[in-house]
Chains A and B, each alone.
Chain A
Amino acid sequence: MATYQVVLEALAEPSRRGLLERLATGPASVAELASELPISRPAVSQHLKVLREARLVDFDERGTRNVYRLDPAGLEPLRTWLDGFWQDALDAFEAHARAVSETRRST
């Protein structure tokens, strides 16, 4: 399971966001991605590896080549993180509001 840091690091690099943007329009092979984007073929492979580890892309084998596509399963860790983020924030708000209420009652 990818952690949210792995997903965020994968998303933080502009070339990788470019690859995701391209794959959002449809699946493509490494050769196709390298010809369409200003990224060398070895670099495309390297970026795809990172995106695969973050589970943001997956591939299907078609003969001798791999065809890559988006795999939004990678977003679940981000969602889990965000859930904890808002829980912490609302817990803090609740604790403060209760403390204000207690102060008012005792004065």
Chain B
Amino acid sequence: MSTSRRGARPLRKSALVPQSPNDAFRIFVDDIAVWWPLATHSVGRERATSVVFEHGIGGRIVETHGEGETAVWGSVTAWEPPRRVRFTWHPGTPEPEATEVEVTFSDDGDGGTRVELTHRGWDNRPDGTDARSSYDTGWAVVLGAYAATGALTR
């Protein structure tokens, strides 16, 4: 059903930075508390104080806000520095309907790095089972979109 899939196509964004892929990857992950727009892009909004991107598969992306409360945004499912990192995305909501974000770092041929971010999984339930009917009617897309925006918009 083509109309039900319109909202489901992967979302892609890119950036160009002057560093090597090695440094760009390190800055993306280790400086996230510095560059991420926490005041607007977080569960705690203006109460958010920090965010940590833990290394390796299973590592979590965790926001701290208020009096030491935390909110997990997702966890790492692929860890291939300096080329690629992939993580689940369910900021401030339970994990079951998580979507997926992948970030790749490639040499731009001019000493810098092209960073490409893909947010997908709107059309895809991770459990696979029983997803067929909901996939056809668009319900998985609804759940995916809800999980993708999560509590970041409240």
Contact = CB atoms under 8 A, between A and B. Distances in A.
A82 B119 contact: yes
Contact of A79 (B3, B7, B138): B7
Looking at A4, A87, A89, which has the most chain B CB atoms within 10 Å of its CB? A89
Interface residues of A, number: 39
A42 interface: no
A72 B138 contact: yes
Contact of A90 (B40, B115, B137, B139): B115
A20 B14 CA distance: 34
A78 B145 CA distance: 7
B108 to A, nearest CB: 13
Contacts of A87: 13
B13 A90 contact: yes
Contacts of B31: 96, 100
B79 interface: no
Contacts of B48: none
B34 interface: yes
Nearest to A87: B13
B20 to A, nearest CB: 11
A39 to B, nearest CB: 18
Interface string B132-151: 01100111011001101100
Interface in A44-87: 56, 69-70, 72-73, 75-76, 78-79, 81-83, 85-87
Contacts of B6: 72-73, 75-76
Interface of B: 3-4, 6-7, 11, 13-19, 24, 27-28, 31, 34-37, 40-41, 115, 117, 119, 133-134, 137-139, 141-142, 145-146, 148-149, 152-154
